[in-house]
Amino acid sequence: MTLKFGTAPDSWGVWLPEHPTQPLWPQFLDEATSTGHHLIELGPYGYLPTDPAVLAHELSSRGQSLIAATMVAEDMHSVGHRAGILAEARKIATLASPLGAKYFVLMAEGYLGSDGVATMPTSLEGSDWTNFVDTCDEVGKLLLEEYGMVLAFHPHADSVIEYAWQVDKLLDDSDSRFTQLCLDTGHYEYRDGDSAALLREKFSRIPYLHLKSIEAAVRARAIAEGMSFGDAVGLGVACEPSVGSVDFAALAQAMKDVDWSGFAIVEQDMFPLAALDIPAPIAKKSREYYNTFGWTN
């Protein structure tokens, strides 16, 4: 059993290509390096340089490697949007794959509008569900055959794949050749999932993890008040792993029991970021905490 982990722009409060609260990309790369991280995720396309030669230089000069790319796709249940989703995936993979990225993390857009009201179905059925699964498989097939990348679908709170039963159904109905899972421990627990149990049961479909924890009291308030996940993040629902409710010791034991090996990215959602000097000390402490399980960076 081996787990090698890195970090992502998300842990520096980066959710968008540009935002006034976000650090500029050199700060993220410099501080990721100084806190002991040597694997990174691409983050939102356009945050890091999109010129392959420039990005390759910036990574190599810091001793860093790219492990994965990320993408949020809109209207995955609509056949009419599939061509656009495939084109966007190809654009991102064209940047990430030559730099060594092995995984492509795909998420479905959230179903809540800016006012917190659902603007699309909160769960899919019938042809909408079939179309959604087919889109996953087609993106995964494209990535594997043209770029050698593995599609790792990311369940996300306030999206159509958020609860354990939806995750199970996606894995049951999708093609295991093309659609794998990125288990985000924070999002899964936010919707009452058990990450260790899922890893034990579905380990052959989970090559990649996002390590995130949840502040139980903030989660309870968010659920009780019907907040969006984004609003809960603003209140600190994503917290340092040593004080959160995700049982990482149980996850580590599950990995040993099924002899699971793979890669992970540490994430602690902090958007909007209150101050630019917040992320680096947390990233260092989080790395040291995960090292106690024998997980390496």
Angular region, 130: left φ>0, alpha ψ -120 to 50, beta rest? alpha
| Spacing of C-alpha 192 from chain mean position | 18
Is residue 190 within 8 A of residue 157, CB to CB? The reply is yes
Q: How far apart are CA 63 and CA 50, in angstroms?
A: 19
Instruction: Please state the domain extents for the chain.
Output: 3-212+242-291
Task: Tell me the pLDDT of the chain (297 aa) as tens digits.
Answer: 899 999 999 999 999 999 999 999 999 999 999 999 999 999 999 999 999 999 999 999 999 999 999 999 999 999 999 999 999 999 999 999 999 999 999 999 999 987 788 888 899 999 999 999 999 999 999 999 999 999 999 999 999 999 999 999 999 999 999 999 999 999 999 999 999 999 999 999 999 999 999 999 999 999 999 999 999 999 999 999 999 999 999 999 999 999 999 999 999 999 999 999 999 999 999 999 999 999 998
Signed CA dihedral, 108, 249, 238, 164: sign only? positive
The CATH superfamily holding the domain 3-212+242-291 is: Divalent-metal-dependent TIM barrel enzymes (3.20.20.150)
Q: How far apart are CA 259 and CA 96, in angstroms?
A: 29
Is residue 263 within 8 A of residue 4, CB to CB? The reply is yes
